């Protein structure tokens, strides 16, 4: 497996094709090759992952600025279904981290659907990101079957690249906190099926999470851990300060 920067218009066209295979997006929702050019031109990064000659995943990040601190906003990381759960996503994120640090950028952020437990495990448990912002309907409605025409509520994942938490997670040594002062929020697994089979219940789960997180984040809590259990995933929150 090799990871490298997008270097040509052909590379960026490959990233567009990968989006169709990964998300089944309608054309209107695809990020075009021109936007990849703009992202790279303005300080962002775009990478492709190859297995031999085959492109199997990509990552796209924009350059952002908050309170005069530069960071990367990682807009997309995707791996084609046949190659998921084989460590390609992790390799892409590690490459992104290495290149950000090389450019002197200590923070990468991205948003994700907190009901998608695979992404929760990947982002919080495996990469060591934390979450303290919940944005209701971030993108408006999407045509992706993955999003199921639901409000696109998102967690903002903050990946503080040089933190002890991230180092520990990458080394496989992070354990979610337990005991006094810790809050937990459970999400049932299989949310995609639920969105199709019982959309009302799926909407209720989303609304409960929205209200609980909005309250806890306002009181200074952050998601710092995630546990997988047989029929559910559990977000672990504790009071958090930088």
Ligand X SMILES: CC(C)(COP(=O)(O)OP(=O)(O)OC[C@H]1O[C@@H](n2cnc3c(N)ncnc32)[C@H](O)[C@@H]1OP(=O)(O)O)[C@@H](O)C(=O)NCCC(=O)NCCS
Q: Site residues for ligand X, window 223-242 (CB under 6 A)?
A: 228
Tokens standing for 55? Answer: 């492109």
> In angstroms, rounded to a whole number, what is the distance separating the alpha carbons of residues 153 and 140?
9
Closest CB to ligand X among 86 and 149? Answer: 86
Which residue is associated with the tokens 């990947």?
122
For residue 56, state whether it binds ligand X (rule: CB under 6 A): no
Stretch that binds ligand X, among 12-20, 65-73, 84-92, 195-203 (CB under 6 A): 84-92
The footprint of ligand X on residues 16-35 (CB under 6 A) is: 22
Among the listed residues 25, 47, 122, 134, the single contact to ligand X using CB under 6 A = 122
Q: What is the SS3 assignment for 79?
A: strand
77 binds ligand X, rule: CB under 6 A: yes
| Separation of CA 141 from chain center | 18
Asked if 187 interacts with ligand X (CB under 6 A), we say no
The answer to whether 193 contacts ligand X (rule: CB under 6 A) is no
Select from 28-36, 39-47, 64-72, 85-93 the region that touches ligand X (CB under 6 A).
Answer: 85-93
Alpha-carbon span 134 to 127, nearest angstrom: 19
The beta-strand segments (E) located in the chain are: 2-5, 45-51, 54-66, 69-79, 107-112, 130-135, 154-160, 183-188, 221-229, 232-239
Binding site for ligand X (CB under 6 A): 22, 76-79, 84-90, 112, 117-119, 121-122, 126, 228
């Amino acid at each position: 497996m090799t990871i490298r920067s997008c270097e040509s218009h052909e590379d960026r066209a490959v990233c567009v094709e990968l989006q169709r295979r990964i998300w089944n997006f309608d054309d209107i929702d695809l990020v075009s090759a021109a936007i990849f050019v703009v992202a790279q031109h303005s300080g962002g990064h775009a990478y492709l992952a190859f297995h031999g000659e085959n492109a199997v995943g990509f990552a796209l990040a924009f350059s952002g600025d908050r309170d005069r601190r530069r960071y990367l906003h990682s807009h997309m990381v995707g791996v084609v279904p046949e190659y998921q759960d084989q460590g390609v996503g992790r390799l892409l994120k590690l490459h992104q981290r290495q290149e950000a640090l090389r450019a002197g950028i200590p923070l990468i952020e991205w948003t994700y659907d907190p009901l998608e437990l695979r992404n929760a495990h990947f982002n919080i448990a495996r990469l060591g990101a934390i979450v303290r912002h919940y944005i209701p309907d971030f993108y408006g409605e999407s045509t992706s079957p993955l999003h199921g025409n639901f409000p696109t509520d998102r967690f903002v994942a903050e990946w503080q690249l040089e933190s002890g938490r991230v180092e520990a997670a990458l080394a496989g040594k992070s354990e979610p906190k337990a005991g006094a002062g810790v809050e937990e929020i459970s999400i049932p697994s299989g949310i995609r099926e639920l969105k199709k089979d019982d959309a009302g219940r799926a909407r209720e789960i989303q609304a409960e999470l929205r209200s609980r997180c909005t309250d806890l984040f306002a009181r200074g809590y952050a998601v710092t851990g995630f546990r997988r259990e047989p029929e559910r995933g559990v977000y672990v929150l504790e009071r958090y300060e930088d």
